[in-house]
Amino acid sequence: MYPRNLLLALAAPLAVMAQQAFFASPVVDLPVPEQDLHALSETEFTTFMHPSYPKHRVRVKKTTGWCDTTGAASFTGYIDIDAHHLFFYFFESRNKPAEDPVLMWINGSSAMGLFDELGPCSIGKEEKPIHNPWSWSNNASVFFLDQPVRVGFSYADHGEKRTTSEAAVDFAAFATIFFESFTKFKGLPFHMSGESYAGRYLPEFAAALYDANTLAVTEGRTPVNLQSVIIGNGFTTMLHMCLSSYDLLCTSASVEPLLPISVCVRMKTVMPRCKKWYTASCVNSFDTINCEAAMEFCMQELFFVQGKTGRDPYDLTYPCDSPPNSEVSLCYRESENEHIESYLNRANVRKMLGVDKAVGNFSMSSGQVNMDFAMAGDLMLSSRPHTVELLERGIRVLSYVGTYDWIANWVGNLRSANELEWSGANRFRAAELREWSVQGKKAGIVKSFGPFTFATVDSASHLVPREKPEESLAMLNRWLSEKPL
């Protein structure tokens, strides 16, 4: 059984939940998706369907002007997949939406990424949208997807998705129907992005979409032009995060050493045992019971000692008053998101977005979906094999990490990157770590070969775009332009 504190720690920055309810807003059915998005209604949904997906539909309404005040168009809606209903926000590029790439962002409820990191607006203490000049929509059309069901404003009539593999099926359907319905964007470069547990699910989501493209070609449809996967502060595997916990807490890899020498000595001693047991039970031959036991041992000895530091696990420079004997410091600055919750719970805002009146209060505090995924064994699995297969097929992968983050830290992510076994592995490992800069100032370090790039962002925590908006946007623009960082 996984300790609850770990699951909550993984959930905290991205588990924005809403209660499920049936959606009963008015719709206008359009079986052939050829209408201009700009002609859509602002008061009711228009429903798009496609003959290749008779059990699916997309409900969309126009919401231009509520968040992006530059004049760029925006929309909200649902993708209905059988009994599952995924909510999304979509913002056209501020630059050239008919030409610019399309970017997807997922992190639990995407509202955190939208309003607190990289969207066209943030929500201030006055509970009003504030223009974000560093939005990732400056040169890309961006949709924020509440995935899986039961996060954000997404819901299910019945049934749930409890593993990444199950959720990947819904995502592949969403992406396919999105581009089939919104023909204006069909064929444009598509990039998938997210953070934290995205290190687990994004590679598998991308792999499911890549395979779905094979069906599209068979049916004579235009496949989704999948170009890259962008993972911020990704939680790759428990082993990499446990072993690198020593580096972050006992050396100067991020900040000064934070634990007593006696604790660090014990961590150093048990690291080989943790690696051997985990590798034998979770990697070489997967055994559920033994793998869970290995994870329990590694977490107790190497992971939960972070609670002794008095620091925020998402930002080691931030003081944290943990409860006595806390396993992981759960002091993430959730109070800063209270105004977002309050804004999204306002009746006029929910009506404008198209949220059903029966949906419960929007909350940043529940990690139930993350708990469900973990209890189903999802945390024991790895998407690293999917990353390998994507690289072998030329899909570019960018892994970036803020250097002050502990829970999905840069040392563990770099080791994970170096240990991937793909055709370019040796040359990637041999690649030199060099500085990358923005406006003549060092922004971090980077190494790259072929389709694979790893980069750090100096003095950033778990939420890089929030704390380093200029640097993260420069990184994104270079990546989308296929230029070296």
Q: How many CB atoms lie within 10 A of CB 476?
A: 23
The candidate with the shortest Cα–Cα distance to 46, out of 90, 36, 224, 55, is: 36
Contact call for residues 447 and 413 (beta carbons, < 8 A): no
**What integer pLDDT is reported at residue 22 of this predicted model?**
29
pLDDT at 331 over 70: no
3-state secondary structure of 332: coil
Q: Which range, 21-30, 146-155, 241-250, has the best average confidence (pLDDT)? A: 241-250
Residue 403 · residue 457 · CB < 8 Å = yes
Tell me how far apart the alpha carbons of residues 383 and 386 are, in angstroms, rounded to a whole number: 5
Q: Is 191 a catalytic residue?
A: no
**32 vs 253: CA distance, rounded Å:** 56
pLDDT digits (tens, 9 = 90+) for 435-472: 999 999 999 999 999 999 999 999 999 999 999 999 99
133: which residues sit within 8 A by CB, 6+ positions away? none
Q: What is the CA radius of gyration of the chain?
A: 22
CA–CA separation, 265 vs 263, rounded Å? 5
- pLDDT at 25 (0 to 100): 40
State the catalytic residue, choosing from 110, 312, 462, 472.
462
β pairing state of 84-91 and 141-145: antiparallel
Q: Which of 74, 135, 193, 196 is the catalytic position? A: 196
Q: With pLDDT > 90 as the criterion, what percentage of the chain qualifies?
A: 60
* Lowest mean per-residue pLDDT among 59-68, 212-221, 227-236, 419-428: 212-221
CATH code given to domain 27-236+381-480: 3.40.50.1820
1 falls in which pLDDT band (50, 70, 90)? very low
- Does 14 have pLDDT greater than 70? no
Q: Where are the alpha helices (DSSP H) in 22-141?
A: 111-113
Q: How far apart are CA 472 and CA 400, in angstroms?
A: 9
Q: In 227-287, which ranges are continuous DSSP H helix?
A: 238-250, 261-278
Q: How distant is the alpha carbon of residue 466 from its chain centre?
A: 14
Where exactly are the structural domains of the chain? 27-236+381-480, 238-332
Rounded Cα distance, 474 and 485, in Å: 8
Most confident among 156-170, 224-238, 321-335 (mean pLDDT):
224-238
Q: Please enumerate in sequence order all residues whose Cβ is within 8 A of that of 417, keeping only pairs 6 or more positions apart, or say none.
A: 399, 428, 452, 454
Write the CB contacts of 468 (distance below 8 Å, at least 6 apart in sequence). Answer: 402, 443, 457, 458, 459, 460
Tokens 């630059």 belong to residue:
95
Is 462 catalytic? The answer is yes
Q: What is the pLDDT of residue 53?
A: 72
Taking a C-beta distance cutoff of 8 angstroms, is the pair 153, 363 a contact? no
Nearest to 202 by CA among 276, 145, 155: 145
Active-site annotation holder among 80, 116, 170, 405: 405
356 carries an active-site annotation: no
Residue 368 to residue 176: CA distance in whole angstroms: 28
